[in-house]
Structure 1
Amino acid sequence: MHTDIVQRLRYKLQKRARKVNSAGYQTFHFALLRWWEFLHSNEIFVGILEQLAYLVSSAEDDVKRIINGESLQGGTEEEEASLAFWIIKYCYEAKENPDIEIVIAHRYSHSSNHNEALEMFKDIFVEPLYEYIDEQLDDQRAVLGLLRRFKHSCEWFQRNDVLDIYQKEVERGTQEGKKGRGEKQLALHLYEYLYNQGLSFSIEPTSVSGEADLIASQNTDDPLIADVKLFDPSSSKNKSYIIKGFQQVYQYTLDFNEPFGYLVIFKTCEDGLAISAANQEQSTSFVTVNGKTIFIVIIDLYPHEKSASKRGKLKTHTISEDEFVTQITEDKEAQEEAGLLDNEN
């Protein structure tokens, strides 16, 4: 992101974290609640936290063990930060128990003094979460927050302009000898936005003008794994098409050994599109398969004539988590079977 944006976010983050770290045992719980609410008031912070929540698969269960009396700590910085996220989330949800942090703190500290014990809680949980968020502001972990802002920018302020990009390509496709590249142009629009926000990546010049994949063309071992798909069930861009797009992003996370991928869907029809996933608490839909988490951002480009409250009930196409996962499993089994047949031959 731009340096000035990062600096402002860091200043606010540091200021709020300092208030938590300076709070005594009588006010600490409420200071922690206010800090958690502050973190969830900014889309960039929310994006980082949503990814952190599923970065370490065992963290949520480890927190349950801590609540039950164990004194666990993360073995790596990521494990430490993920554990901190889930502990502070637990403390926030236990609003009616202002002593919950003190109880946890005394499990890690031999001191009988509440304030001295809380220093241990701050060192093990508050500081690691603060430091992780601070570090990720310059990293691709900020991508999800930027994608959420991009979605709002398209739907609130640029709907007609972005839709015009797509419609021009549709018209181009009707011309003899020419092919519409609506998806490609929308992908370029997305990548341009992320680049203008200061996100660092590099794309081969040939991929901008040609049909090459924008992910594979980044010429780096750490690419931005964000792909764009159109959704319009009146054409071939239906549920099956979206599921195939999900598979492509998932495959890229495997190819480049990345924990996260992003599927951005531009909905150009009046029908609704929904993602149904289990245990979905985050504001952005996601599906986790074999340790890889794919975030799904749906952008509504359809020029609705009526406001949402006056449209009535529209047809909604729902894609379940099972549909995404089952297709990947079936493809993997088919590949393994094909490999066995090749070996036999």
Structure 2
Amino acid sequence: MLEDLVELLDRQWKFLHAQEGTAFYRQLRRFVRFVQEDPRLAALLRDIQRDASELTHRHFQHDQSLTQSLVALKGEFVKQAPDEDDSSTPPPADGWLTPAHELTLARFDAIANYPHARPIKIDTLADDTKSRKLLEILAAKINNPERRPSLFSHPTSTTRTKIQQSKIDELQIQLINLQQQQEYAHRKFVDEKLTSSGLLLNGVLQLLHDLNPEPTPLSADEEERDAQMRAQVNQWFNEGLEMPGKRKITEALYNDHTSSKDKNDALEHSVQALKLYIERIYEDLRLRVGTRRSLLGLINRFQHRCQWHDRVRLFNLAKGAKRKVEETLTAELALWLFDQGLSPVSKPMMAGLQPDLTDPSFKFNLYIEAKQYNASAKDYLVHGFHQLWDTVSGLKGTPYEVKEAFYVVFRCGGPRYVLPDQALPGEGWTAHLRIIDIAPAKERGSQGAKKPIVISMDELMPARP
């Protein structure tokens, strides 16, 4: 099934890439709908967007932490140089900030206390963080040689002057360290955001929304109506892609009076840029489909190996394990995965939870819950999948957050159960189910064969509140 999905995705991308002008934009909407509506791709899109959300969260958290350090450094500077404290400087009456006011501590406080982070512009190298602006102001204050004499104007003691000079030198060193931290974090974030398919996906979705936004009924209240109008205007400056000329693009798409030449001029640059962005999203989707297909391939080959070539040995191994049948069979699976290049760990403690088998070194955090049965066990198997659900969901938001979970059931005897063949969508993760039949031949042949018992998806999925 995943092979068909890769082929379908390739065809859709090839067709989109061949379009130009207005045809590209119209087909782009269809391409986006395709990847959003296919349940297998939609799950991968959620993974991609979650990765982008985590990236921006780390970025904002670091900026906030650095801002707090700079506020503390500013406090120490004011203690050592009270004459330099211009925190009470009023803003210009006309509202236009002069270069002189831009470097006051009053401006520093206004930026530090601003409650919201500025939206991220995806395809730019600019650094518009709070910490960068605060560093600029503090550097102008602490390092300005024209103002340094005023730092020592009030003390009369030579000893006090030396102490004060030493304190200022310490603040300069702290400032340099914070500057290095900020510059390193910004460059790292630039590299990450310019290769993030999730941020690009969000930008493309925002762009398509801006080109044809859904109507918002205006309020009869004049004040509320003005606020709505301002919000609509601000949509053009929302986070996303630096795509100039959105109004011209809209006119080219929906205005009959626009000439073909004007349409081509308005769309040529943006179409070429968007093709590069969509290609990055497409390649990430293809990678994730391939990774999922590779994991499924490993589990499928293990299933075939057990059932075709290793059935007798595994059954005897399980029979001799007595009370530790599941642990013994899980160890066989762990050894198989290790031989295929993974690094599985059995029963590790992760965030207070203990999965049967996981590989936290794997990019998408492989997780396996293994069960076995040799008699009627429908309720046990359903409960086991709920156990998997609770454990995987409990890892969400931790460094061990799981993207791919496998529910592997060894049949050592008893009735033959049939689990859903399709992947089951979890809470930001996907579950794959496999039954490995190692029961003896007498329970599988014509004498022991009975009608299989189907366990439906509805029985396995937890009840929704």
Q: TM-score, normalised by structure 2?
A: 0.39
Larger Rg: 2
